[in-house]
Structure 1
Amino acid sequence: MEKGLNAGISATGMVNSPNRFKLAVFGLNVSNGCSITSAEGAFKGDWDEAKALAQQADRLGLEALVSVARWRGFGGAVNFNDRAFDTISWAAGLAAVTERIQLFATVHVPTIHPVRMAKAAATIDHISHGRFGLNIVAGWNAGEIGMFGTPQKGHDERYAVSAEWIGVIRRLWTEDGFDFEGRYYSIPGGHSEPRPVQRPGPIVMCAGASAAGSDFAAAHADCQFINIFGLDGLKERVAGLKRYARETYGREIRIFTTSYVMCRDTEREARDYYDHVVNQKGDWEGARNLVRGMMPNVENAVDDDAMLASLIAGYAGFPLIGTPDQVVAGMRALSEAGIDGVTLSWVDYAEGLDQMERLILPRMRAAGLRV
């Protein structure tokens, strides 16, 4: 087994699945999912709706469900993501009603102590029989983090905190009775039982495009998520990230991205649907508010229409727009560039998963992307 990759107990999930190109569903715990729009069919954030969609994704053999850690909405017409299930409880609930799919709780490091997180992760790993995953976010939204009474730290220091945080958690998953005195945490007599089902612990993922974020992923994560804005140079970029982890830390990591899907019988219909979602029904004010939170010191970003449109369509994911054949061709291009898989979102998740079953997955198997 490659160093940095978890043996687990399952032949599924974001690391151990035999499928060449992994697929996850993103955003089934927050209202509107990943689309900042009032277009018809948008995810409401209802538990029964989330449960049914999760079970459908499980039945289809998709690798994972990945949540969004959100504490308040972004205003505007739809108040994007304001209704948000706690990601840890969400993962525990879905663990009990699914069979194979991996469940990633996205966690903002400043919001939970590592001793508490280690215990919660191990608990869900037992509920799911080894299917829990931890998606680490160092913290980016100062307004949300401020709700916890602690000012947000500077960008690179957030990753230093996160490194200490996950280091403590991994020791709690594998050691007993240790004392830890770090810069950010003090753990006397560290202990946590039961240990996770997975050994040495659950799969860890994170997203990070900065130097500090990429270094953290290389050192601590099994899966790194990157944003992709085109295919030019992507193969070299992905190879460089994997090489850096291998040469710097002796670890193997997988590289993933996020994508939104708008699939129709013809490309014209798909483009018309994009126009409907983004230009006719898009919540541009909400998107601008999100950008202000992401990049508070880059005021001109709120006037970048291309960026705002990408956020509205699907959280600035890689666009998979067109016919079923074109959607699969886009996935094949990502795979050939070294991307190991994608998290997927749709405006209408029920419609999207139905399309996956009838139209996309058979074509992916024919293309050699799925077994």
Structure 2
Amino acid sequence: MATDARALQFAYWVPNVSGGLVISRIPQRTHWDLAYNQALARIAEQAGFSYGLSQIRFTAGYGAEYQHEPVAFSQALLAATTRLKLIAAILPGPWTPAVVAKQLATIDQISGGRIAINIVSGWFRSEFHAIGEPWLEHDERYRRSEEFIRALKGIWTQDGFSFRGDFYRFHDYGLRPGPLQQPHPEIFQGGSSRAARDMAARVSDWYLTNGNTPEGVRVQIEDIRRKSTHRETPVKIGINAFIIARDTEAEAQAVLADILDQADPAAVEAFGREVRQAGLGSPEGEGNWADSSFEDLVQYNDGFRTGLIGTPQHIAERILAFKAVGVDLILAGFLHAQEEVAYFGREVLPRIRALEAAAAHKG
């Protein structure tokens, strides 16, 4: 085990949505059903992962024809594990703070304090239209999400909670029982824009960003750190990555080439049109996917950009470069989830812990 007090943590994308994590026709030994995911959760727990992130999708598209609801699905995975924490993604709009606070408090009690939440401000405009939800402008979505988080925290930590915002209002509301975790379950949020960083600096426990280089994510981290100096607990940082770990560099690069060669051009372009309007919709044009290439978009969250493709030693050293700029968590996607999560735990994670221990000893 690493002696570094700030050991990196690892999360994996739960494949509760069909089609895997790449918009490609390449064969994948990953499935979206419950049995596969319960087995995967146990493998991830054994491999050393701290979290699994259940995705939120309401409608089909871009290869994701089927989608399990993340809160209920997370509870089923918690029932199959003993240590793993599940992060359930939710959308303000379809969900309300009162419903989410009640749901997660109950799941937290049942699971022994192993539920967390990821607030997704919204990127899929067609999905909102399909379910009859208003589509807000970019910064308004983040303003609503911030109110959502403030309401959640208030419900979970205050007796007789009252709140008067532009989107949500509460009047002397009390929740019993509250969550087991104190002061409340961890609150994650995504984004790369100024509005996302500002929100994270004010109210979130974790900031998750799309794939990037160490230099690219350093800029985001430094911005958040400057804006959150008033906080007692620093905002933690996670970055998305698609990991292709193989015994040789040539094998890993061949897998990447196959994924890209078999990409579905029509689906990738349709996905690109949908998400670019979300990223470019930020006033400064720096949101998620604002400058993503075709190759970036083949992996939904720019996971190839992070560069975790190669041998176990290369990946371990690259991950330590992210830690050096302030990253606290790697949110990992895989092609063949069960086998590759196990391989990561067996071949990559021990190397990471050894590098952390060596760095701590040297320091």
Fold shared by both chains (TM-score > 0.5): yes
Query: What code does the residue aligned with 2:353 have?
Result: R
Instruction: Output the CA distance in 2 between the equivalents of 1:305 and 1:238.
Output: 19
Match of 2:189 among 206, 209, 225: 206
The answer for the alignment partner of 2:301 in structure 1 is: 315
Query: How many angstroms does 1:163 deviate by?
Result: 1.6
Aligned equivalent of 2:94 = 111
The Cα of 1:233 is off from its aligned counterpart by 5.2
Structure-2 residue corresponding to 1:9 = none
Cα distance in 1, alignment partners of residues 21 and 143 from structure 2: 29
2:45 alignment counterpart: 58
Residue 236 of structure 1 deviates from its aligned partner by: 4.8
- Give the Cα separation in 2 of the matches to 1:231 and 1:179: 42
Q: AA paired with 1:129?
A: G
Distance 1:237 1:28, change over 3 A: same
Q: Relative to structure 1, is the Cα distance of residues 315 and 181 closer, same or farther in structure 2, using a 3 angstrom cutoff?
A: closer
State how far apart, in whole Å, the 1-side matches of 2:211 and 2:17 are: 23
Give SS of 2:32's match: coil
Per the alignment, residue 215 of structure 1 pairs with 198
Q: Which one of 32, 37, 45 corresponds to residue 24 of structure 2?
A: 37
CA distance in 1, matches of 2:293, 2:219: 24
Deviation at 1:343, TM superposition (A): 0.6
Moved more, 290-299 or 162-171: 290-299
Deviation at 1:257, TM superposition (A): 0.2
Q: 2:285 aligns to what?
A: none
- Aligned partner of 1:345 in structure 2 is 333
| Contact 1:260 1:345 (C-alpha < 8 Å) held by counterparts | yes
Which of 278, 281, 284 is the aligned partner of 2:265?
284
Structure 2 counterpart of 1:20: 7
Within the alignment, does 1:269 sit opposite 2:251 as a pair? yes
* CA displacement at 1:41 relative to structure 2: 2.4
Distance verdict in 2 for CA 1:86–1:233, change over 3 Å: closer
Moved more, 199-208 or 25-34: 25-34
Q: Deviations over 1:279-298 (max 9, x none)?
A: 1x222221211111112387
Q: What are structure 1's unaligned runs of at least 5 residues? A: 1-16
Matched letter for residue 336 of structure 2: D
Amino acid at match of 1:284: P
Alpha-carbon distance in structure 1 between the residues aligned to 2:244 and 2:161: 51
Aligned match of 2:234: 252
Deviation at 1:237, TM superposition (A): 4.0
Aligned to 2:286: none
Inter-partner Cα distance in structure 1 for 2:194 and 2:223: 12
Distance 1:287 1:266 in 2: 29
1:239 aligned residue: 222
Partner Cα separation in structure 2 for residue 42 and residue 161 of structure 1: 38
State the alpha-carbon separation in 2 of the partners of residues 210 and 315 from structure 1.
Answer: 14
Shift of residue 150, structure 1, vs aligned partner:
2.3
Are residues 1:364 and 2:345 paired?
no
Sort the Cα spacing of 1:325 and 1:195 in 2 relative to 1 into closer, same or farther, 3 A.
same
Q: State whether residues 27 and 34 of structure 1, in contact with CA within 8 Å, keep that contact through their aligned partners in structure 2.
A: no
Q: 1:296 and 2:282 equivalent?
A: no
Aligned-partner residue type, residue 84 of structure 2: I
Distance 2:207 2:218 in 1: 15
How far, CA to CA, are the matches of 2:198 and 2:187 in structure 1? 14
Deviation at 1:195, TM superposition (A): 0.4
Matching of residue 326 in structure 1 with residue 309 in structure 2: no
Query: How has the CA–CA distance of structure 1 residues 135 and 260 changed in structure 2, closer, same or farther, with 3 Å as cutoff?
Result: same
Opposite residue 191 of structure 1, the aligned amino acid is G
- The 1:358/1:179 distance shift into structure 2, 3 A limit, reads closer
After the TM superposition, which of the residue ranges 94-103 and 17-26 deviates more from structure 2?
A: 17-26
Segment of structure 1 superposing worse, 213-222 or 284-293: 284-293
Sequence identity (%): 28
- The alignment yields a C-alpha RMSD, in angstroms, of 2.4
Q: 1:22 to 1:178 in 2, by over 3 A?
A: closer
**Aligned residue runs from structure 1 range 79-90, under 5 A:** 79=63, 81-90=64-73
- Structure 2 unaligned spans of 5+: 282-289
SS in structure 1 opposite 2:356? coil
8 Å CA contact 1:242, 1:254 repeated in 2: no
Distance 2:346 2:76 in 1: 28
Distance 1:209 1:322, change over 3 A: same
Q: Given that residues 211 and 301 in structure 2 are in contact (C-alpha distance below 8 angstroms), is that contact kept between their aligned partners in structure 1?
A: no
**Deviation string, structure 1 residues 97-128 (Cα, Å, up to 9, x no partner):** 11111110001111111111100010111121
1:234 Cα deviation from its structure 2 partner: 4.1
Could you say if the C-alpha distance between residues 152 and 362 of structure 1 is closer, same or farther in structure 2, counting changes exceeding 3 Å?
same
Whether the 8 Å CA contact 2:54–2:88 is kept in 1: the answer is yes
CA drift of 1:18 comes to 5.5
Check whether the contact 2:192–2:220 (CA below 8 A) recurs between aligned residues. no
1:267-323 superposed Cα distances (whole Å, 9 cap, x missing partner): 1121111111111x2222212111111123879xxxx99722122245311231111
Runs of 4+ in 1 over 6 A off after TM superposition: none
Partners of 2:98 and 2:201 in 1: CA distance: 23
Aligned AA (2:296): S
In 1, Cα distance between equivalents of 2:292 and 2:153: 41
CA deviations on 1:209-235 (whole Å, 9 max, x unpaired) are 111111111111111012343233544
Amino acid paired to 1:126: Q
TM-score, scaled relative to structure 1: 0.86
